[in-house]
Amino acid sequence: MCLGQTVETLGQGNVKNISVTASSNSSNGIRTLLRDGYLPNHNAASRFLSQATLGPKFAEIEEVTNQGIEAWLNSQLALPNSFSIENYIRSISQSIADSLNRTPQTTPYTVQNLNLSDWYFDVAWFQGSMTSPDRLRWRVALALSEIFVTSRNSDFDGNPYALASYYDVLLDHSFGNYRDLLESITYHPTMAVYLTFMNNHAQATVNGNLIFPDENYAREIMQLFSIGLYELNNDGTEKKDVNGNSIPTYNNNDIAELAKVFTGFSWHNAEYLGDRNENELDYTYPLKFFPIDSSDAIRRPWKSNPDITNGHQPGGKTFLGTTIGQGRTAEQGELDVQDALNVIFNHPNVGPFISRRLIQRLVTSNPSAAYINRVATIFNNNGNGVRGDLKAVVKGILLDPDARECCKGDEPYKGKLKEPFIRYMNLVNGLNLTSTTGVFRNRMNEVYDKMEQRPMESPTVFNFFQPDYIPDGDLKKAGKYAPEFQLLNSITLTGYLNALDEWLIDNDPIDYSSYFSGETVKDAQEPEFDFTADYLLAGNKNLPQLLDKYNMILAHGGISETNFNHIKKAIESMPDIYDADGDFNETNAERRIRLTIFLMMATPDYLINR
């Protein structure tokens, strides 16, 4: 069945004022609209927004139908990053300190000495995602957080700033250049701690022990963040040698050599290589470079002959067929980092490797080779001779015919399973969860407890699911990928419906917590869904309209007529909205609406975003 709408070539240009109607089944919809200039109908707009946002809102769908997809996309790409998660946490922290300091304290509370828990990150993240106008940026940043993975399942498990500052880097670079992103994460303490090159040391004899540079980051920056394990063609397929075997991009020697590059880095305020951080906020400053390890002299000032060794490994390093750093001293070590990142950045694998991952996150689990090739070509050159322009790449991904034309061929493996976390964001956006004060306070516990996903909480550097995951059964027989299925099992499946039960049936979508003991409860920060506008659609007579509405918002018209009828039948068995006397029964209306949306979100039609 068709989702969204067929694109037919009717000409170019900006045709406005085409009448648009929503339909429960988009194959019945108007088919005269084009991505390049013509205006999409509601389902097509909703489908586009399901790829370009964390969850379409009705008003937004209207916007896209009025402006057209490309115009909306361009205005989004032009919006600056409007929200800093770190600053939001700092402001919460300041207000907590102010409140606590009203009672005289021996040592007054400050932003620096209040040790906040990691859930302040979740609160700030939710606030930003719900209130920022740069909706596309927030969607892309989530995708980046699942490629350039760091996670609170690590040394910084309780620290909101480590998560916030890193996520802000992803938001900042979502429409920037990949090379800058790579450099920013390399200099970020969150990455340095997560992949253990914080205080990494040149090969040396320290306290009589021979030690070697830590290889963790050197390996993962190549395997996961840039080039992958095998040489690729520009369309993402693996190159083969004469015997038909895949060609490894690097071996263990390349890793040991590259590991020498990422040596000599510590905290921004460290006194010496090997120093520890002082407080949570140290995670918000870029790393400081220590070419020389003089820790012995600083820590043991009484020694007449302290050990002075190289912090950074001087001299040449050969990896990926290139030698860098030859003849350089340890002091010139930061040039090694620049060179190494350039070598990685310019590897021909990066375009297809990163393009495939981004397409998988935003559009479909099994992009065609031609689709990857088109996007990788944009990565290699944005048209103005610039390599790595993520703005152009994102635009290329979302405007590509493979993303926009839904019905061509309609392959049996098209689309992707919606990530559990995205389903939650779909719900709160689609049902237009609104806070009267504009402030939300949401720890987002339930989505993680029940479905094991929440931003910056991957179990490992390999993300919640891996790009090449293939579930058993038909997809395996067809040799098709479905990464998100790796997170689907009997626990998370029942967990999903039980979480929906709490969010929808109990109308409790927000996990509120006090910031400090004795704080006045701020009900306005814990809003519920408001279904009153739909009450009159909940009766048997208008039920199809209710179904149409949420089918359009949540599933861009993708719910099949058969499932539509299963849901309708179930709801019709519930008490109607008018009682025997003909009086309107609010409770019945409310329950009918909640269960309708619950069942819609339980359909495979909704769950697979085609």
Partner 1 sequence: MKRRDFIKNLGCGAMGSTTLFSTLASLGSMNGALANNKFADTDSSDYKAIVCILLSGGLDSYNLLIPAGTGGADNGFNEYLGLRTDLAVQNANLLNRFTNPVHVGVRGKSSAYQAFGAHPGMPEMSQLFNAGKLAYMANIGTLVEPLSNYTDYQNNEKKKPLGIYSHSDQQMQWQTSVPQSRDAIGMGGRLADLLHACNDNEELSMNISLAGKNLFQRGKNYAEYAISDNINANNVGFESLPSGWSNSGLLTELRNGAIDNMVSETYSNLLQKTFATTTRQSIAAFDSFKEALKKVPSFTTTFPNNNSLADDLSAISRVMSVRNELGAKRQIFFVDFGGWDMHDNLVSGLNERLPMVSAALKAFYDSTVELGISDKVTTFTISDFARTITSNGQGSDHGWGGNTMVMGGAVNGGKIYGAFPQMDIFTNPVNVSFRGNFIPAVSTDELYAELALWYGVSPADLCYALPNLGNFYSYSANNYPLGLMNMTGGVSTIDRPQNCLVY
Using CB under 8 A as the binding rule, the residues of this chain from 197 to 236 that contact partner 1 are 198-201, 206-216, 219, 223, 229
Q: Which is nearer to partner 1, 98 or 506 (CB)?
A: 506
Candidates 251-259, 276-284, 340-348, 381-389: pick the segment binding partner 1 (CB under 8 A).
Answer: 251-259
Q: Which is nearer to partner 1, 539 or 558 (CB)?
A: 558
Contact positions with partner 1 (CB under 8 A) in 532-591: 560, 562-563, 566-567, 569-570, 573-575, 591
In the complex, the smallest distance separating the C-beta of residue 251 from partner 1, rounded to whole angstroms, is: 9
Question: How many helices (H) and strands (E) would you count in the chain?
Answer: 25, 10
Q: Cα Rg for the chain, rounded, in angstroms?
A: 27
Contacts of 377 (CB under 8 A, 6+ apart): 234, 351
Contact positions with partner 1 (CB under 8 A) in 308-347: none
Q: Pick left, alpha or beta for residue 409 (phi over 0 → left; psi -120 to 50 → alpha; otherwise beta).
A: left
Contacts of 317 (CB under 8 A, 6+ apart): 257, 258, 260, 261, 323, 324, 325, 336, 340
In the complex, the smallest distance separating the C-beta of residue 276 from partner 1, rounded to whole angstroms, is: 12
DSSP string, 555-591: HTT-S-HHHHHHHHHHHHTSPPSB-TTS-B-HHHHHH
Q: Which is nearer to partner 1, 394 or 567 (CB)?
A: 567
Give the Cα separation of 86 and 238 in Å (integer). Answer: 40
Which one of residues 181, 255, 428, 553 is an interface residue with partner 1 (CB under 8 A)? Answer: 255
Based on the shown chain and the rule CB under 8 A, indicate whether residue 602 belongs to the binding site for partner 1: yes
In the complex, the smallest distance separating the C-beta of residue 227 from partner 1, rounded to whole angstroms, is: 13
Contact positions with partner 1 (CB under 8 A) in 500-519: 501, 505-506
In the complex, the smallest distance separating the C-beta of residue 91 from partner 1, rounded to whole angstroms, is: 33
Reference 468, options 266, 300, 246, 296; nearest CA is 246
Binding-site size, partner 1 (CB under 8 A): 84
Contact positions with partner 1 (CB under 8 A) in 455-484: 459-462, 466, 468, 471-478, 480, 482
Amino acid at 239: K
Amino acid at 65: T
Contact positions with partner 1 (CB under 8 A) in 148-167: 155
DSSP assignment letter at 39:
P
Counting Cα atoms < 13 Å in the Cβ hemisphere of 376 gives: 26
Q: Which is nearer to partner 1, 244 or 385 (CB)?
A: 244
Q: Which is nearer to partner 1, 314 or 396 (CB)?
A: 314
Secondary structure class of 319 (helix, strand, coil): strand
In the complex, the smallest distance separating the C-beta of residue 395 from partner 1, rounded to whole angstroms, is: 26
Q: Which is nearer to partner 1, 346 or 445 (CB)?
A: 445
Give the Cα separation of 458 and 437 in Å (integer). Answer: 32
Secondary structure class of 184 (helix, strand, coil): helix
The four Cα atoms 447, 508, 132, 358 give a dihedral, to 10 degrees, of: 20
Based on the shown chain and the rule CB under 8 A, indicate whether residue 607 belongs to the binding site for partner 1: yes
Secondary structure class of 299 (helix, strand, coil): helix
Contact positions with partner 1 (CB under 8 A) in 414-433: 414-417
Give the Cα separation of 310 and 408 in Å (integer). Answer: 60
In the complex, the smallest distance separating the C-beta of residue 469 from partner 1, rounded to whole angstroms, is: 9
Which helix (DSSP H) or strand (DSSP E) does residue 293 occupy? strand 292-293
Give the Cα separation of 419 and 424 in Å (integer). Answer: 9
Contact positions with partner 1 (CB under 8 A) in 66-125: none
Based on the shown chain and the rule CB under 8 A, indicate whether residue 294 belongs to the binding site for partner 1: no
In the complex, the smallest distance separating the C-beta of residue 495 from partner 1, rounded to whole angstroms, is: 9
In the complex, the smallest distance separating the C-beta of residue 417 from partner 1, rounded to whole angstroms, is: 6
Which one of residues 117, 132, 342, 492 is an interface residue with partner 1 (CB under 8 A)? Answer: 492
Candidates 5-13, 175-183, 192-200, 346-354: pick the segment binding partner 1 (CB under 8 A).
Answer: 192-200
The CA–CA distances, whole Å, from 301 to 31, 296, 306, 308, 433 equal: 79, 8, 8, 13, 60
Which one of residues 9, 326, 490, 517 is an interface residue with partner 1 (CB under 8 A)? Answer: 490
Contact positions with partner 1 (CB under 8 A) in 385-414: 412-414
Which one of residues 78, 308, 497, 524 is an interface residue with partner 1 (CB under 8 A)? Answer: 497
Based on the shown chain and the rule CB under 8 A, indicate whether residue 358 belongs to the binding site for partner 1: no
In the complex, the smallest distance separating the C-beta of residue 472 from partner 1, rounded to whole angstroms, is: 3
Reference 309, options 266, 275, 272; nearest CA is 272
Length, in residues, of the chain: 610
Based on the shown chain and the rule CB under 8 A, indicate whether residue 487 belongs to the binding site for partner 1: yes
Give the Cα separation of 457 and 79 in Å (integer). Answer: 28
Q: Which residues pair with 240 in a beta bridge?
A: 246
In the complex, the smallest distance separating the C-beta of residue 610 from partner 1, rounded to whole angstroms, is: 7
DSSP assignment letter at 503:
I
In the complex, the smallest distance separating the C-beta of residue 595 from partner 1, rounded to whole angstroms, is: 7
In the complex, the smallest distance separating the C-beta of residue 106 from partner 1, rounded to whole angstroms, is: 32
Q: Which is nearer to partner 1, 116 or 571 (CB)?
A: 571
